[in-house]
Amino acid sequence: MKLQKNDRLLFIGDSITDCGRAHPVGEGSSGLGHGYVAQVYALLRSIYPELMLRLQNVGNSGNTVRDLKQRWQQDVLDLKPDWLTIMIGINDVWRQFDHPLADSQVFLEEYEATLRELVASVRPNLKGLVLMTPYYLEANPEDPMRATMDIYGEAVRRVASEYDALFVDTQAAFAPLWDHFYTSVLTHDRVHPDATGHMVLSKAFLDAIGFEWTRNTKS
Amino acid sequence: MKLQKNDRLLFIGDSITDCGRAHPVGEGSSGLGHGYVAQVYALLRSIYPELMLRLQNVGNSGNTVRDLKQRWQQDVLDLKPDWLTIMIGINDVWRQFDHPLADSQVFLEEYEATLRELVASVRPNLKGLVLMTPYYLEANPEDPMRATMDIYGEAVRRVASEYDALFVDTQAAFAPLWDHFYTSVLTHDRVHPDATGHMVLSKAFLDAIGFEWTRNTKS
Amino acid sequence: MKLQKNDRLLFIGDSITDCGRAHPVGEGSSGLGHGYVAQVYALLRSIYPELMLRLQNVGNSGNTVRDLKQRWQQDVLDLKPDWLTIMIGINDVWRQFDHPLADSQVFLEEYEATLRELVASVRPNLKGLVLMTPYYLEANPEDPMRATMDIYGEAVRRVASEYDALFVDTQAAFAPLWDHFYTSVLTHDRVHPDATGHMVLSKAFLDAIGFEWTRNTKS
Amino acid sequence: MKLQKNDRLLFIGDSITDCGRAHPVGEGSSGLGHGYVAQVYALLRSIYPELMLRLQNVGNSGNTVRDLKQRWQQDVLDLKPDWLTIMIGINDVWRQFDHPLADSQVFLEEYEATLRELVASVRPNLKGLVLMTPYYLEANPEDPMRATMDIYGEAVRRVASEYDALFVDTQAAFAPLWDHFYTSVLTHDRVHPDATGHMVLSKAFLDAIGFEWTRNTKS
Amino acid sequence: MKLQKNDRLLFIGDSITDCGRAHPVGEGSSGLGHGYVAQVYALLRSIYPELMLRLQNVGNSGNTVRDLKQRWQQDVLDLKPDWLTIMIGINDVWRQFDHPLADSQVFLEEYEATLRELVASVRPNLKGLVLMTPYYLEANPEDPMRATMDIYGEAVRRVASEYDALFVDTQAAFAPLWDHFYTSVLTHDRVHPDATGHMVLSKAFLDAIGFEWTRNTKS
Amino acid sequence: MKLQKNDRLLFIGDSITDCGRAHPVGEGSSGLGHGYVAQVYALLRSIYPELMLRLQNVGNSGNTVRDLKQRWQQDVLDLKPDWLTIMIGINDVWRQFDHPLADSQVFLEEYEATLRELVASVRPNLKGLVLMTPYYLEANPEDPMRATMDIYGEAVRRVASEYDALFVDTQAAFAPLWDHFYTSVLTHDRVHPDATGHMVLSKAFLDAIGFEWTRNTKS
Amino acid sequence: MKLQKNDRLLFIGDSITDCGRAHPVGEGSSGLGHGYVAQVYALLRSIYPELMLRLQNVGNSGNTVRDLKQRWQQDVLDLKPDWLTIMIGINDVWRQFDHPLADSQVFLEEYEATLRELVASVRPNLKGLVLMTPYYLEANPEDPMRATMDIYGEAVRRVASEYDALFVDTQAAFAPLWDHFYTSVLTHDRVHPDATGHMVLSKAFLDAIGFEWTRNTKS
Amino acid sequence: MKLQKNDRLLFIGDSITDCGRAHPVGEGSSGLGHGYVAQVYALLRSIYPELMLRLQNVGNSGNTVRDLKQRWQQDVLDLKPDWLTIMIGINDVWRQFDHPLADSQVFLEEYEATLRELVASVRPNLKGLVLMTPYYLEANPEDPMRATMDIYGEAVRRVASEYDALFVDTQAAFAPLWDHFYTSVLTHDRVHPDATGHMVLSKAFLDAIGFEWTRNTKS
């Protein structure tokens, strides 16, 4: 397990992270929203009560990496977390497909450069960094939006390897489910999953930080 | 793992099970409420997608075992589940302590006899039965209400052993947390916990049915 | 133009037809909902005011062809329309993909047989009948749900040809849009389109009944 | 068809244009309100998907031409549209008839001068301009308010001819309906019509810009 | 003054009479609605406090004379009033103009025959009867709906003279106002006036029953 | 009749005047509230339509004369009315009886001095001034609060006579009713009457300004 | 102290007793409303915790003694209380003064006879009975409604003496306050007092049953 | 009785004092909330009407002594009360137990020092000061949170003795109840009691100020 006693973890991202969190900074049983951040909190606290971990959520619905940059000082640097988790990019891609005529778009070059800049600014002060890819809940890798999302995910992978971050490939984490379900089972818009889909994200995150699921299972 | 493909699991109990479930029978992403039943569903579906399991929730807030008996035919027998989980008894005890003058109480003898009668009526038709004890989120075993709850929990243990049920000692599952937290961290009324407390229940349940947490963890 | 003065047209279907119509029978400026039926009404009335046409909407959200059968006597036969339009089948297919474990499904054989039975019962009393296919707003014809929907659409075509109905291939009507937009532009769940998508349906319907768009355009 | 690929069209006016649009600038499927602007958008997008047109709505309920002048810089000039459509004057006339004692009125001279001034300021930067007359849904041309409205409409016609604008005589567009309906069929206050009345406006507008209704009608 | 001590007056009609009255029978300061019936009550009670009069309102919005017939036994005969006032007919005419395609209409013959039948059934038991004409707040007597309303008003006059009723020509009562105002000053739909319009009705009614306005005016 | 064509009348006072008026200045059919000001408006407009009078209401619930002084510039002087009506003093007295311990009270000396000062400041610019006494709907003149209210009413009488104002003795206007009713018939708190009580105020006001009730009564 | 361990007390009456109680029978911390019954409950329970008393409230707003008779079997006899408290009569008197024209009134003879009949039916089964007079919060005993209320109170006194009831003269209990306050301090309608007024009732009741206020006061 | 005519008493504290009071300063029948302050007010006013006492409530939910310090000038010193009552400390302790990881806590040293500083600043200007201890509604004195609360209560006792304050040991006042009830009877979270619990606080406070409960009890 990579986390240590009293570590404080900050999560930033879009609506998948937000999920109705409290403002200005979501924390505690009623402040983390109802998505993967809240699930991770319940699992960490119930199975590692002695670690006395704090989780904080500053995800904002609809955000792109450009929005994160705007609020990076206040919502990340000023909070001085021990660990930081970033999952961003879904809206950067989605807006190109559902509002193609919108005035400005976050294309790949800006996306990767901004993500790298943000990571670079905070990495030295962190005990640990987790980068989670954006995803699209579509099984067909040739679907135009899925294909674009995968390309953005590769950018996350590059930044993660450059900055010694734990890398979570969320798109890959969902793949096993598509052998058994059509994606509508989890989501109608292919972006916002139900609690099962969030649990896929939670498990992928916890596996990445070395969570020992069976540490206090009675044998 | 004790569950098999296409099994249907029914959960019955009080507000801990209910948690805002849909009526008449809660099922699916939005119908199971927001407590341990929903957590169990998300964990089962995300980690065992191939099992195609169905979960159904018929918990009712405020119920005692006497209330379960009243609706047993309609809410349990008629639904013909493969597996049944029962967690009842908190209100049977609580009413003796917060409404001691109420017209009638469910004392121990009636509690155990009724539970046994209900279990006997359904056990032959089940693939599996899980009996979860009632609990009181109080660390002091000599607290009058905690002590009474433990006695009711022992009744559950007896019935479980007589009817070949998986037994989940929920009071014991919470115990490790009290080494690190005062109970107010999870709950103010010592009955209704936050998501962390529900995850303690979920883990105790899943461990009982042989859930393999690490089956698809990337090594 | 196939419609005649004082004709009364009845529309039945699912949420695409319903769109918030009034009950028990939606009619008039505020009773037809806000979907293609209301658009057709506005276009017919503004361009053919002398025809004095009445439109009635009995679409119900979530309906399958099995639901139509249940209410056919009351909602179709008893209303004795001059013209009838049926668009059904989306939910018959969707439930197989988003709730694959649901207790019962409307598979192809039942779908086509029921549609044929309903059409047969009403056709002799109608001046005209319009059958509109179900659709799925997905450009990839090999997507599993799209492919299934196309098969259901072929069943509609067969019934239409047997019963002298005007046939509207809604899936084909949407196709030209996909050359220019990803489907998210019109819809996030690939079923419920915005007003533009409804106008595609309206135009396909009106073209089928011989609507002359330019009859009173000032040259 | 006078519109070209990627053109952006701005609509300004009173409640007939507003119809519940989004603020500060209404745009897209859910932002244009539910009146003629939204209908025009659905028709343009469904029949000319390749043009990739953008429509924006800055109509404000209750506005007179004097109100337009107040917000002209922010709501028109700053938005730099390719095409502009103006329909104003109903409230300028109505206030003289329903609040004759109000402190100030927009009489004809001010109306025409202001409209001319606004048009002059923006015309050089436009690809195209559409001026739509105000109207009153009263068949009797000698009704005092109808007669006044017609005089204001003539002012619009003068300004249109001076500034090379497409001119839409909305009062004339409604006339054919009065052969078949009393105006109460469309409206109780003779100002705000139902969707059919808005479709009359939409058709008049689209005919003016050379919309080809039958371009993709299957023969 | 024609009213006597302790007389009970019943008012029946459509929305003009109803005006939000209480159910089943509106009476007293908060039960008579906010229209002419309430105004009449305030004037009678403040200027003739010694008469101890009771007023009851059974007007129903949207009613035609056909609707009155349906509820005549319960809402008029059973209440055994001393005086009865009837104002009906606006909806009988309006429906012919705003919903010309509706399934059935109350044409003149049915209107007059029904009104006569209702009056005949109750007249012998009344101390006094007041018949008020329907009206349309349109100054032009050749407007189609106004002209029809005047014809219905003449039917009321005939019935009044046959059954010794006080006759109130409401259309005539409004006429003096049109010399000074366009009708929009009082009403936008030409049916539902503001408090000033209701006061015109109140004064016409009170003049008919011999109300002495100046009886206790300090000289 | 003392009012002339196009006169503008301003009413200021407490909750009796306010009655839910619009802000910042109540005017017109929906802006004058539902009390005596609205009744006066309806009576003036229906019986003297040719005068084209405007009425404005700036009554504020709970106000004392001290509150009027605070807003006199903005709510009276700046509005430059032709006629002004003041009815104030009920709260000045009431607070001494229902909140005797409140920090400050408006005793008689301050009341009369303030009223005189306000009247003096505005009188020169008015065509006419109406001063209405405060009242208490209690028949017993020896009731302590009634007796105090009468003393305040005498102060109004003095100021009226000094400044050539029309004087309306509202307490006297109510007196005839108490021969027939206990005050609870009109009001439970002896301050806020129902519409009948407001009509008593309206009649007293209209009589004072020379309103001719029967000018257009058909003989 | 006249009450004994485990006694159950029932209170019946009008709005003074009701005060928002729960239905069908108000009981416990949140079920007794917010009036004197709830105050009595808090005082009894905090000062005599060992008595384990139950209080039940079946007061209904607006009730007269005639209404009590209608529900006496269900709301009193069937509940089999140990003690019963009745406070009724305010509405019996009030309706004669605020709705003098209402169809029927409960005059003194009916009031006293009905109260006697009800008391007679229940007295044999009671450990104790408390009869509280109606009251009117008016200091002047010659006020017509106050005078009538006092006469009704004398009827209560007669019935109490006949049936060995504890008699509570509530009107007398309020009298000392009027030496210091005008009644508006406690109430604006002279019927519904604030919490201070209810405490006057509570104290009068508790004194009647022998409540020892200082039994556990620390000296 | 220690209070004198016209004394003004100020209460400050946390949610137990607040109980929904009005802002900025709660006073009077509807402004003091629904807790012990309101009960004390009703008892003082009903039994000592001649004292003409004023009570003011500035309790704020969630406050610690650190919060009191922040608003001491505005909410205490500026109000210049005759008597001041302080009950604070519950949240100071509770936060250590339910949010142990919160950024800052009010430990004992700060608590006592701050309380002493606040008391010192105001004592010279007061006629009387009442210090009430914090409490925890738990019968077991060895419960960790109860034990801590008792330690904070001792700090209050020290400050009270240093500054000549009346000392109210609220924890001791509740003790007699636990011989008869489990604490759940009064409260589920062991902090917020029902009206009975508030009455325990009220009685303890009133006994401390020399309230004579039986002064006007009829013997």
Show the low-confidence residues of chain E (pLDDT under 50).
Answer: none
pLDDT of residue G73: 98
Average pLDDT over residues G72-97: 98
CA atoms of D207 and D202, how far apart (whole Å): 8
Q: Is the pLDDT of residue A219 over 60?
A: no
Instruction: Work out the mean pLDDT of chain C and round it to a whole number.
Output: 96
Average pLDDT over residues D49-60: 97
Q: Which of F98, F140, F191 sits opposite G185 (nearest CB)?
A: F98
Residues of A taking part in catalysis = 15, 189, 192
State whether residue B45 sits within 8 Å of chain C by CB. no
> Looking at chain H, which residue has its C-alpha nearest residue B185?
H98
Work out the percent of chain D whose per-residue pLDDT is above 70. Answer: 98
How many other C-beta atoms are found inside a 10 Å radius of the C-beta of residue E48?
18
Q: Which residues are paired to D131 by β-bridges?
A: D86, D167
Average pLDDT over residues A110-123: 98
Q: Report if residue E135 sits inside a domain.
A: yes
Instruction: Work out the mean pLDDT of chain B and round it to a whole number.
Output: 96
Work out the percent of chain G whose per-residue pLDDT is above 70. Answer: 98
Exposure string for D30-68, b = 16+ CB within 10 A, e = fewer: ebbbebbbbbbbbbbbbbbbebebbbbbbbbeebbbbbb
ipTM: 0.95
Confidence of residue B215 (pLDDT cuts 50, 70, 90): confident
Q: Report if residue C217 sits inside a domain.
A: no
Q: Report if residue F201 sits inside a domain.
A: yes
Q: Is the pLDDT of residue B15 over 80?
A: yes
Q: Is the pLDDT of residue C94 over 80?
A: yes
Shortest distance, CA F148 to any CA of chain G (angstroms):
12
Q: Report if residue B40 sits inside a domain.
A: yes
Return the amino acid letter for B178.
W
State whether residue C79 sits within 8 Å of chain D by CB. no
pLDDT of residue E213: 87
Neighbours of chain A (3+ CB pairs under 8 A): B, C, D, H
Does the CA dihedral H142-H146-H152-H158 come out positive or negative? negative
Report CB contact under 8 Å: F98, G144: no
Work out the percent of chain H whose per-residue pLDDT is above 90. Answer: 95
Shortest distance, CA H192 to any CA of chain B (angstroms):
11
Q: Is the pLDDT of residue B110 over 80?
A: yes
Confidence of residue G213 (pLDDT cuts 50, 70, 90): confident
Calculate helix-pair angle for F195-208, F36-47, nearest 10 degrees. Answer: 50
Instruction: Work out the mean pLDDT of chain A and round it to a whole number.
Output: 96
State whether residue A97 sits within 8 Å of chain D by CB. no
Instruction: Work out the mean pLDDT of chain H and round it to a whole number.
Output: 96
Q: Report if residue E218 sits inside a domain.
A: no
Please pick, among D15, D75, D150, D198, the residue that the annotation labels catalytic: D15
Sheet order of strands, F83-87 included: F26-27, F54-57, F8-13, F83-87, F128-132, F166-168
Return the amino acid letter for E172.
A
Q: Is the pLDDT of residue D213 over 90?
A: no
Q: Is the pLDDT of residue G216 over 80?
A: no
Q: With contacts defined as CB-CB under 8 Å, which chain F residues touch H29?
A: none
Confidence of residue D218 (pLDDT cuts 50, 70, 90): low
Show the low-confidence residues of chain F (pLDDT under 50).
Answer: none
pLDDT of residue C215: 79
Confidence of residue C112 (pLDDT cuts 50, 70, 90): very high
Instruction: Work out the mean pLDDT of chain G and round it to a whole number.
Output: 96
State whether residue E45 sits within 8 Å of chain G by CB. no
User: What pLDDT digit, counting tens, does each position of H93-119 carry?
Assistant: 999 999 999 988 999 999 999 999 999
User: What pLDDT digit, counting tens, does each position of H3-38 carry?
Assistant: 999 999 999 999 999 999 999 999 999 999 999 999
Q: Domain count for chain B, please give it.
A: 1
Q: Is the pLDDT of residue G219 over 70?
A: no
Confidence of residue B218 (pLDDT cuts 50, 70, 90): low
State whether residue H28 sits within 8 Å of chain F by CB. yes
pLDDT of residue H218: 60
Long-range contacts of A157-164 (CB under 8 A, 24+ apart): A157/A133, A158/A112, A159/A112, A159/A115, A159/A116, A159/A119, A159/A131, A160/A131, A162/A116, A163/A116, A163/A119, A163/A120, A163/A123, A163/A129, A164/A123, A164/A129
Work out the percent of chain C whose per-residue pLDDT is above 90. Answer: 95
User: What pLDDT digit, counting tens, does each position of A145-192 carry?
Assistant: 999 999 999 999 999 999 999 999 999 999 999 999 999 999 999 999
> Looking at chain C, which residue has its C-alpha nearest residue E99?
C28
Average pLDDT over residues B168-181: 96
Q: Report if residue A217 sits inside a domain.
A: no
Residue G140: phi and psi, rounded to 5, are: -85, 110
Please pick, among D61, D67, D121, D192, the residue that the annotation labels catalytic: D192
Tell which residue, H165, H171, H99, H103, has the closest CA to residue H133: H171
* Residues of the domain holding G88: 8-209
User: What pLDDT digit, counting tens, does each position of G2-56 carry?
Assistant: 999 999 999 999 999 999 999 999 999 999 999 999 999 999 999 999 999 999 9
Please pick, among B34, B164, B188, B189, the residue that the annotation labels catalytic: B189
> Do chain C and H touch: 3 or more Cβ pairs under 8 angstroms?
no
Average pLDDT over residues B158-163: 98
Report CB contact under 8 Å: F29, E217: no
State whether residue C100 sits within 8 Å of chain B by CB. yes
Shortest distance, CA F92 to any CA of chain E (angstroms):
27
Report CB contact under 8 Å: B100, G52: yes
Known catalytic residue: G219?
no
State whether residue E49 sits within 8 Å of chain G by CB. no
Examine residue F24 and say whether the peptide bond preceding it is cis (omega within 30 degrees of 0): yes
> Do chain B and H touch: 3 or more Cβ pairs under 8 angstroms?
yes
Q: Report if residue A191 sits inside a domain.
A: yes
Q: Report if residue C19 sits inside a domain.
A: yes
> Do chain B and E touch: 3 or more Cβ pairs under 8 angstroms?
no
- Angle CA(D18)–CA(D22)–CA(D28) in degrees, nearest 5? 100
Q: Which residues are paired to A54 by β-bridges?
A: A8
Q: Is the pLDDT of residue B4 over 90?
A: yes
Neighbours of chain C (3+ CB pairs under 8 A): A, B, D, E
Residues of H taking part in catalysis = 15, 189, 192
Residue C88 belongs to domain with CATH number: 3.40.50.1110
pLDDT of residue D65: 98
User: What pLDDT digit, counting tens, does each position of G104-121 carry?
Assistant: 899 999 999 999 999 999
Report CB contact under 8 Å: B54, C101: yes
Q: Is the pLDDT of residue A213 over 90?
A: no
Q: With contacts defined as CB-CB under 8 Å, which chain B residues touch G28?
A: 99
State whether residue A99 sits within 8 Å of chain C by CB. yes
- Number of cross-chain residue pairs from D and F with Cβ atoms under 8 Å apart: 5
pLDDT of residue A45: 96
pLDDT of residue C218: 60
Report CB contact under 8 Å: E188, D143: no
- Number of cross-chain residue pairs from A and C with Cβ atoms under 8 Å apart: 43
Neighbours of chain F (3+ CB pairs under 8 A): D, E, G, H
Long-range contacts of D32-40 (CB under 8 A, 24+ apart): D32/D57, D33/D57, D33/D59, D34/C34, D34/D195, D35/D198, D35/D201, D36/D198, D36/D199, D36/D201, D36/D202, D36/D205, D37/D11, D38/C195, D39/C39, D39/C42, D39/C195, D39/D195, D39/D198, D39/D199, D39/D202, D40/D202, D40/D205, D40/D206
Residue C152: phi and psi, rounded to 5, are: -65, -35
Report CB contact under 8 Å: H184, B144: no
Report CB contact under 8 Å: D140, E144: no
